[in-house]
């Protein structure tokens, strides 16, 4: 078989490990041939491919980013769609596609699969917000990076007796904020799932300050304080028409400073959380998912994605997997909140 692989949507650490796992197992166990589509669905729509022999994936499991490039291209736009793509695949002799991506990528993969294309998916998001899999690769690395950064903010905050706010990624779900905040022993964690008023945040900051601590607050980019209707966005829309988030920490900092009298600084970690080498956990998870994706292709499990269930890799249909957000459960937030202030 000849199999095409693509990485689509926002990148995250571990993408290359998935590619390596799939290609290496596909070549050594099944004798398959591989190509890579460049820049996600763009490469599929424009039939822009590179060969992926064994030498192309040598040593890439520990590399950040993706050797194939990525984009937020919708395969149904710009002259795409199932007919055009099928014609490209027939002409190039490609039998099946492995699509590595998040909700948007997998939703497009489902539509193409429903139209008869042979596609399997590998879920990806640093936000860890896909319900059908216990963890997504990239999340562990993002939490490590955020935790280290927040630890650093703590020491400078303590030196200057300031309140420090760290903003992390998390559009719909606050998993990175919850885990990094808990790991770094934050005095408050603010996530999209929980509407919290500024007075409560101020109370937590004052509580820490009254014990001689520099208040440390971790906020997810998608957090909506009680006085706001929707997440803070000042950067327009992304290619999928979603508001680009980022900047809620800058909004909160002057409010907290004015109400507490504590000098307050905000730091937005942004894409630093998605760059660089994957953690060992993410390399292992991504490699296993890539290997399992090849088994799905061999078994003809079209329209499914691989998923981590406990410690085992399983597969679930796109229909079952999509549209279900894995939000931080109330009990997990309450557990963390016992230690705030």
Q: How far is the CB of 291 from ligand F6P (least distance, A)?
A: 24
The residue among 24 and 166 lying less far from ligand F6P, judged by its C-beta, is 166
Q: Examine residue 10 and tell whether it contacts ligand F6P (CB under 6 A).
A: yes
Q: How far is the CB of 271 from ligand F6P (least distance, A)?
A: 6
The residue among 12 and 291 lying less far from ligand F6P, judged by its C-beta, is 12
- Bridge partners (DSSP) of residue 37 are 49
Q: How far is the CB of 245 from ligand F6P (least distance, A)?
A: 5
Choose, by CB under 6 A, the member of 51, 226, 238, 299 that binds ligand F6P.
238
Catalytic residue among 127, 129, 140, 295: 127
Q: Examine residue 16 and tell whether it contacts ligand F6P (CB under 6 A).
A: no
Number of residues that bind ligand F6P (CB under 6 A): 13
CB neighbours of 22 closer than 8 A, spacing ≥ 6? 3, 5, 34, 98, 290, 291, 293, 294
Is residue 54 a contact partner of residue 25, using CB atoms and an 8 Å limit?
no
- Convert residues 100-119 into a mask of x (bound to ligand F6P by CB under 6 A) and - (unbound): --x-----------------
| Token couple for 151 | 């630890």
Choose, by CB under 6 A, the member of 45, 126, 149, 262 that binds ligand F6P.
126
Question: In 163-272, which ranges are E strands?
Answer: 163-168, 188-190, 216-220, 264-268
| Token couple for 9 | 């949507």
State how far the Cα of 108 lies from the Cα of 117, in Å rounded to an integer.
Answer: 11
Q: Examine residue 125 and tell whether it contacts ligand F6P (CB under 6 A).
A: yes
The residue among 233 and 260 lying less far from ligand F6P, judged by its C-beta, is 233
User: Would you list which residues are annotated within the binding site for Mg(2+)?
Assistant: 103
DSSP state of 14: T
Q: Examine residue 245 and tell whether it contacts ligand F6P (CB under 6 A).
A: yes
User: Residue 284: enclosing H or E segment and its boundaries?
Assistant: helix 280-298
Q: Is 52 exposed, middle or buried (0-12, 13-18, 19+ CB in 10 A)?
A: buried
Closest residue to bound ligand F6P by CB: 169
Q: Examine residue 234 and tell whether it contacts ligand F6P (CB under 6 A).
A: no
Binding residues for ligand F6P restricted to 25-54, rule: CB under 6 A: none
User: Would you list which residues are annotated within the binding site?
Assistant: 10, 72-73, 102-105, 125-127, 162, 169-171, 221, 265, 271-274
How big is the CA angle at 229 (ends 228 and 233), to the nearest 5 degrees? 80
The residue among 167 and 295 lying less far from ligand F6P, judged by its C-beta, is 167
Task: Please report the DSSP string for 164-195 in residue order.
Answer: EEEEE--SS--HHHHHHHHHTT-SEEE-TT--
User: Would you list which residues are annotated within the binding site for ATP?
Assistant: 10, 72-73, 102-105
3-state helix, strand, coil in the chain (%, to 5): 40, 20, 40
Order of strands across the sheet with 96-101?
Answer: 49-51, 33-37, 2-7, 96-101, 119-123, 304-309, 312-317
Q: Is 51 a catalytic residue?
A: no
Q: Examine residue 171 and tell whether it contacts ligand F6P (CB under 6 A).
A: yes
The residue among 105 and 264 lying less far from ligand F6P, judged by its C-beta, is 105
User: Catalytic residue numbers?
Assistant: 127
Chain residues that interact with ligand F6P, rule: CB under 6 A:
10, 102, 125-127, 169-171, 221, 238, 244-245, 274
């Amino acid at each position: 078989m000849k199999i095409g692989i693509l990485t689509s949507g926002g990148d995250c650490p571990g993408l290359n490990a998935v590619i390596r796992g799939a290609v290496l197992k596909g070549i050594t166990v099944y004798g398959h041939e591989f190509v890579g589509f460049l820049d996600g669905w763009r490469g599929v729509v424009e039939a822009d491919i590179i060969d992926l022999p064994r030498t192309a994936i040598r040593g890439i499991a520990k590399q950040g980013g993706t050797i194939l490039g990525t984009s937020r291209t919708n395969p149904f736009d710009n002259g795409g769609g199932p007919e055009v793509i099928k014609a490209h695949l027939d002409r190039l002799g490609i039998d099946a596609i492995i699509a590595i991506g998040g909700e948007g990528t997998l939703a497009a993969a489902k539509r193409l699969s429903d139209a008869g294309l042979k596609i399997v998916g590998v879920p990806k998001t640093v936000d860890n917000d896909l319900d059908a899999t216990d963890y997504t690769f990239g999340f562990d690395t993002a939490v490590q990076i955020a935790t280290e950064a927040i630890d650093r903010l703590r020491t400078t905050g303590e030196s200057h007796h300031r309140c420090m706010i760290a903003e992390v990624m998390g559009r719909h779900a606050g998993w990175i904020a919850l885990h990094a905040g808990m790991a770094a022993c934050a005095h408050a964690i603010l996530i999209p799932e929980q509407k919290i008023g500024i007075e409560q945040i101020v109370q937590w900051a004052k509580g820490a300050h009254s014990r001689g601590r520099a208040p440390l607050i971790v906020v997810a980019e998608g957090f909506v304080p009680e006085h706001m209707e929707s997440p803070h966005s000042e950067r327009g829309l992304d290619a999928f028409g979603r508001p680009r988030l980022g900047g809620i920490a800058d909004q909160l900092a002057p409010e907290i400073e004015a109400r507490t009298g504590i000098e307050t600084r905000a730091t937005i970690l942004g894409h630093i959380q998605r760059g660089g080498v994957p953690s060992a956990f993410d390399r292992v998870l991504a490699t296993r998912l890539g290997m399992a994706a090849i088994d799905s292709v061999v078994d003809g499990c079209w329209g499914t994605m691989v998923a981590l269930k406990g410690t085992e890799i399983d597969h679930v249909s796109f229909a079952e997997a999509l549209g279900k957000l894995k939000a931080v459960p109330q009990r997990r937030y309450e557990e963390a909140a016992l230690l705030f202030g």
